[in-house]
C-alpha cells in the first residue's frame, strides 16, 4: 500500500495537468528504508511526447546524486498518461528499474477527473496497490 500526503498527490496532479498534452514525470524521494514519500521532485520529460516519457539523463544524474547525499531513495516514480487509463504500458513496464518504488500513474484524459493509481513493478510483473491519501504522516 502506498501511503502518501495529499499535498504530494496535488503536486503530481498539478504537474501532470500543466504538462498536458505531453506526459509529465518525476519522483518523490524519501528517507532510505522508510517507504515514506516526502520530497517532491518535478522532472523534465526529455521526450516532450504525449505518449512516452524519459527523464533527462543529466537531470536524473543530478537528482540521484542529491538523493544519495541525503540518504534518500526514490519512493515514488510518477508519470502521466494523457489519453489512456492510469495503467502501465508495455514500455513503462520495460523501463521500470526500481523494484522498491511505487509507480504512480496519473491519467489526464478527463479534464474533470483525476485518475491516480499506484503499482509495484518487479521483473515485469505489475501489481496494483491501494493508495491511502493522508493529510500528514
> Taking residues 122-129, what's their average pLDDT?
97
So what's the pLDDT on residue 20? 96
Residue 123 C-alpha cell reads as 521483473
What does R_g of the chain's alpha carbons equal in angstroms? 14
> Taking residues 18-25, what's their average pLDDT?
97
Q: What share of the chain in percent tops pLDDT 90?
A: 99
Helices (H), the chain: 6-19, 57-69, 90-95
Alpha-carbon dihedral of residues 43, 109, 1, 100, nearest 10 degrees? -40
So what's the pLDDT on residue 13? 98
So what's the pLDDT on residue 41? 98
89-118 pLDDT, tens per residue? 999 999 999 999 999 999 999 999 989 999
Pick the CATH number of 2-134 from 3.40.50.1370, 3.30.70.250, 3.40.140.10, 1.10.10.10: 3.40.140.10
Taking all residues of the chain, what is their mean pLDDT, rounded to a whole number? 97
41-74 pLDDT, tens per residue? 999 999 999 999 999 999 999 999 999 999 999 9
Amino acid at each position: 500500500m502506498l501511503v502518501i500526503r495529499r499535498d504530494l498527490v496535488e503536486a503530481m496532479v498539478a504537474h501532470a495537468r500543466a504538462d498536458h498534452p505531453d506526459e509529465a514525470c518525476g519522483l518523490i524521494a524519501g528517507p532510505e528504508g522508510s517507504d515514506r514519500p516526502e520530497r517532491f521532485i518535478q522532472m523534465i520529460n526529455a521526450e516532450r511526447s504525449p505518449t512516452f516519457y524519459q527523464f533527462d539523463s543529466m537531470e536524473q544524474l543530478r537528482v540521484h546524486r542529491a538523493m544519495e547525499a541525503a540518504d534518500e531513495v526514490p519512493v515514488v516514480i510518477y508519470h502521466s498518461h494523457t489519453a489512456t487509463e492510469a495503467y502501465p504500458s508495455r514500455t513503462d513496464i520495460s523501463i521500470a528499474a526500481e523494484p522498491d518504488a511505487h509507480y504512480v500513474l496519473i491519467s489526464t484524459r478527463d479534464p474533470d477527473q483525476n485518475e491516480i493509481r499506484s503499482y509495484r513493478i518487479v521483473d515485469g510483473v505489475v501489481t496494483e496497490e491501494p493508495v491511502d491519501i493522508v493529510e500528514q504522516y
